[in-house]
Amino acid sequence: MKGVYKKKSQLKKAAAEMKITKKPVTHLPRYVRVDTDSVTLRDVHQYLEKTGKFELVRGPSAKNLPPKGYCIDEHVPALLVFNSKAAVHELDWVVSGKLILQDKSSCLVAPLLSPHPGSTVLDMCAAPGFKTQHVATLTHGLGKIVAVDKNTERYKALCQLKDKFELTTLTCHNLDVLKFPSSKDNNKLVNSVEYILLDPPCSGSGMAKNYDYDPNANTEGGRYSKLRNLQAKMLRSALTDYPAARRVTYSTCSISEEENESVIDEFLGDVPGGFSLVDLTPFYPGLSRGRSNYKCGSKCIRLSPETDGTNGFFIAMFERLNPPAFPAHITSGPTKGLKRTAEGATSTVSQKKKQRTELVVDSPDSPDDSPESPSDSENEMMTTANDNSGSEESVENGENVEESDEEESEEGDDDVGVAENGKPDAMSGDDDDEEEEELEN
């Protein structure tokens, strides 16, 4: 059987096959990402203050927030952290989309990709699209974002998200992303892709409110092997089929080494397409790293509820060593991503709305293609937010479990949101009759 599991009984069956046995950590902080294209951190602080339900606090860690307290996340621009029992889902700004419920783990990806405004970004397994939307805020509404998803229902959810957030630079495609580069109709688009976000179908074993994975389980020849083959095939496509690609992120909401470090190690040494694995340590200091028994481990991010206060999640990033020059239309203005500082700390970049009708035309080589640091005014905004508060959207991600074989890929989103009842949104509701709900982390 292929496709996303939509029913809890099917998820339980898959969990049993993967020997997922332990009860998960259930008291994670709640994360809220601010849609800075529609509101500022200051706006959000004032809004939360007026509700009388929340107050900005400084000092305690995210793991020890008081019931009404919230703070600004130390790693992700415009991400707010709330107490695990905070009823943030009841806020009308969450309903309207000004605030987005999204787990911190999946909010780390777009700032790493850090696409330049005016560039072309490919999200290979995009639905339901919250990471896609995050990318859109980082590009100031300039350039192109191409979002692909094979599953019809998830594709519909992606289109709904596009309409809700009025993402005019986003085009959605309902097809197999592995066949996307070979289509003659897509030649021009394929040749223009400069940044790729790959969040392939995975087991979802990292979902803290779902299940924990038994690391001693023997998965040889089983589901993990099938998923790994698909994941490696998709990563190889990202690194070889897009000649203008400069940066590729690979992420899963799985804690299985077979789906993570094992996949990345396959591409070390003679990396296809002239890419090199990037050391992510300077970007997110203090977060957990990959397994040390793999060559890639020290350069990757591997999050867990116990050590990082997030869902289980894995991130790696590749950069092309000698990328082609930027086209002349790419703006040299800063992205709202991350930059490695001299001290190794991460600079956060908040977003100011930019004029979207004009592109800054500069020489092809002028943009600095590294995740950027904030401007002085942006730093001032972050300082003000720390005093007055800003809020960022958090989604408690659950996971859609998707089956696929080596012959045909099933695209899915690894980071689907988790409903308030603690079930993955894709499975929330009645045990056996619930339709998939597309919240993405």
Got the DSSP string for 110-134?
HHHH-PPTT-EEEETT-TT-HHHHH
CA dihedral 164, 441, 122, 204 (to 10 degrees): -140
The one catalytic residue in 71, 253, 296, 300 is: 253
Establish whether the linkage from the previous residue to 364 is cis, with ω within 30° of 0.
no
Active site residue 107: no
User: In the 8-state DSSP scheme, what is residue 298?
Assistant: G
**Which residue in the block uniquely carries the two structure tokens 């905004």?**
381
Helix pair 152-164, 130-138: axis angle to 10 deg = 40
Q: Residue 70 and residue 31: Cα distance in Å, rounded?
A: 9
Buried (b) or exposed (e) across 380-404, using 16+ Cβ within 10 A?
Answer: ebbebbeeebbbbbbbbbbbbbbbb
Which of helix, strand or coil describes residue 369? coil
**Which residue in the block uniquely carries the two structure tokens 């894995």?**
314
Amino acid at 242: Y
Which of helix, strand or coil describes residue 72? strand
**Closest listed residue to residue 440, CA positions, set 164, 116, 142:** 164
Strand pairing class (120-123; 144-148) = parallel
Q: Residue 420 and residue 428: Cα distance in Å, rounded?
A: 9
Is 37 annotated as contributing to ligand binding? no
Is 199 annotated as contributing to ligand binding? yes
- CA 422, 97, 48, 112 torsion-angle sign: positive
Measured CA distances, 7 to 144, 227, 278, 415, 424 (Å): 35, 20, 38, 17, 10
User: In the 8-state DSSP scheme, what is residue 327?
Assistant: P
Question: Measured between alpha carbons, how far apart are the two ends of the chain, in Å?
Answer: 25
Q: Which residues sit in the known binding site?
A: 149, 176, 199
Q: Which residues sit in the known binding site for S-adenosyl-L-methionine?
A: 149, 176, 199
For the annotated catalytic residues, the residue numbers are: 253
